[in-house]
Amino acid sequence: MGIELNFEGKIAMVTGASSGLGARFAKVLAQGGAQVVLASRRTERLKELRAEIEAEGGAAHVVSLDVTDYASIKAAIAHAETEAGPIDILVNNSGVSTTQRLIDVTPDDYAYVMDTNQRGAFFVAQEAAKRMIARAKGDPKKQHRIINIASVAGLRVLPQIGIYCVSKAAVVHMTKSMAVEWGRYNINVNAICPGYISTEINAEHFQSEQGKALVNMLPRKRVGEPQDLDGLLLLLASDEAHFINGAIMTADDGMSAS
């Protein structure tokens, strides 16, 4: 018995879609048939991504979003639903980091990471969920999905990125809280915790001596590629995942198990 995941007729919003994992998530959902709302501050990059998606036969919309600005969050989600339609799937992906010892973290460093990774993620999910809940009250069978992008750093402490670890641990617990409270409205909230994934932002680092030393410490001495998250993303976004709620799912090549 085969299962075919089909996102025709679905609206998926991806935050932090201008590069890296966010761009990949958007492409994959568009290839699956979803109309994708691309959201970030860098709208010129989003327009380039929209052109790529449309050239491959997909459908995409561009929305300006600053997750550190509550008014921007509300405006972006309203714009998304006006432009594309009610959001069925939210991929809550925006994230930033700093590299430093905890003793060197300043209040500005702390706010920079936490305002995007935790506070921003919370209020994006909240604003989307308000609309999802309103629709669910009119149609109890309607299914919605929220996928929070956390990190293996939210499950174990990694050196030099302590505040990032704190922020992603908060996203992990936030995911569970949302799943418990919103599950009754058929909103399934789950988290993906990637390990080290090579993207345009960090690929050069993994080729450095420090980066190679880090890779050599990993269970299979390799880092992942963005496409290694495709299957997990598609599963959690699908209607077939109706019994998966509050799950914290790692895709780290065994890193958190070692």
pTM for the model stands at 0.95
Tokens of 170: 């908060």
| Active-site residue, selected from the candidate residues 70, 112, 164, 185 | 164
Largest CA distance in the chain: 57
Cα distance between residue 191 and residue 167, in whole Å: 14
Q: What does the pLDDT average to over 30-44?
A: 97
Model pLDDT for residues 139-191, shown as the tens digit of each residue: 989 999 999 999 999 999 998 899 999 999 999 999 999 999 999 999 999 99
Could you tell me how many residues make up the chain?
258
Decide if 185 is catalytic: no
Look up residue 242 and give its two tokens. Answer: 């109706």
Percent of the chain with pLDDT over 70: 98
- CA-nearest of 218, 157, 166, 228 to 197 is 228
User: Which stretches does DSSP call E strand in the chain?
Assistant: 11-15, 35-40, 59-64, 89-92, 144-149, 187-194, 248-251
pLDDT class of 216 with cuts at 50, 70, 90 = confident
Q: Show the DSSP H helices in 34-161 as ranges.
A: 43-55, 70-83, 107-114, 121-138
What number of H helices and E strands is found in the chain? 9, 7
Distance CA 120, CA 147 (A): 14
Torsion angle, alpha carbons of 86, 74, 41, 43, to 10: 40
Q: Residue 1's pLDDT is what?
A: 56
Per residue in 138-149, pLDDT tens?
A: 998 999 999 999
Residue 3: band (very low, low, confident or very high) from pLDDT cuts 50, 70, 90: low
Dihedral sign, Cα of residue 153, residue 245, residue 10, residue 78: negative
Tens of pLDDT, residue by residue over 110-132, are 999 999 999 999 999 999 999 99
59 pLDDT more than 70? yes
